[in-house]
C-alpha cells in the first residue's frame, strides 16, 4: 500500500470499483449487488466525476490519483500496474468506434487524451496534456499534441 500513501480516495475508489465490477458478471450478482453498484455509481460517477463503467476490464494494481474528471470507455482494456491522474479521457474517436487498449506498467499524466482504435504498449509514460491518437510502442515516453515519442526507456 506504499503506492497509495496519501491517496485514500484512490484506494476507496479502486476497492469499490472491484466490488461493482464483480456485480456485473450476470443478472443475479447484479440483482444482489445492487446496493454496491448504486453506491459506486452515485459516489464516483455523479459526485466525483469518475466515469469508469463497472464492466471495464482493468488489471491488477490500478491506481487513480486525484480522481476527478476521468472518463474511460466501457470497452477499453487496461493492463496491470496502470496509474491514471486527473482529467484523463480514454475513448473511441467516433460513436460506436473501438476504444484504446492500454498495456502494463503505464503512467498516464493529468489531462491526457487517449483516443481511437490504438494500442499503448507496456512500460509507457504519457505526459500531462498529451493527445494520443496513434499506437505507442513499448518502453516509450510520449508527450505533446499530437503525442510524439520523446524518449525510449
Query: Can you tell me the distance from the alpha carbon of 41 to that of 17, in angstroms, rounded to the nearest whole number?
Result: 9
Return the pLDDT at 125: 98
Question: Per residue in 129-148, pLDDT tens?
Answer: 999 999 999 999 999 999 99
Three-class secondary structure of residue 13 per DSSP? helix
Omega within 30 of 0 (cis) for the link into 146: yes
Query: Can you tell me the distance from the alpha carbon of 93 to that of 42, in angstroms, rounded to the nearest whole number?
Result: 27
Question: Per residue in 78-96, pLDDT tens?
Answer: 999 999 999 999 999 988 8
Q: Which of the following CATH numbers is that of domain 2-152: 2.40.70.10, 2.160.10.10, 3.30.360.10, 1.20.140.10?
A: 2.160.10.10
Amino acid at each position: 500500500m506504499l503506492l497509495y500513501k496519501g491517496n485514500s480516495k484512490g484506494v476507496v475508489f479502486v476497492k469499490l470499483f472491484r466490488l461493482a465490477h464483480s456485480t456485473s458478471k450476470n443478472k443475479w450478482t447484479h440483482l444482489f449487488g445492487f446496493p454496491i453498484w448504486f453506491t459506486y455509481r452515485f459516489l464516483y460517477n455523479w459526485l466525483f466525476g469518475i466515469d469508469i463503467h463497472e464492466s471495464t476490464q482493468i488489471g491488477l494494481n490500478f491506481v487513480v490519483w486525484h480522481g476527478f474528471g476521468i472518463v474511460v470507455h466501457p470497452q477499453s482494456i487496461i493492463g496491470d500496474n496502470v496509474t491514471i491522474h486527473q482529467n484523463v479521457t480514454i475513448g473511441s474517436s467516433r460513436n460506436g468506434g473501438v476504444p484504446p487498449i492500454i498495456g502494463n506498467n503505464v503512467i498516464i499524466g493529468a489531462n491526457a487524451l487517449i483516443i481511437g482504435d490504438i494500442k499503448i504498449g507496456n512500460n509507457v509514460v504519457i505526459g500531462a496534456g498529451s493527445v494520443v491518437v496513434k499506437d505507442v510502442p513499448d518502453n516509450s515516453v510520449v508527450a505533446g499534441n499530437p503525442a510524439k515519442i520523446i524518449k525510449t526507456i
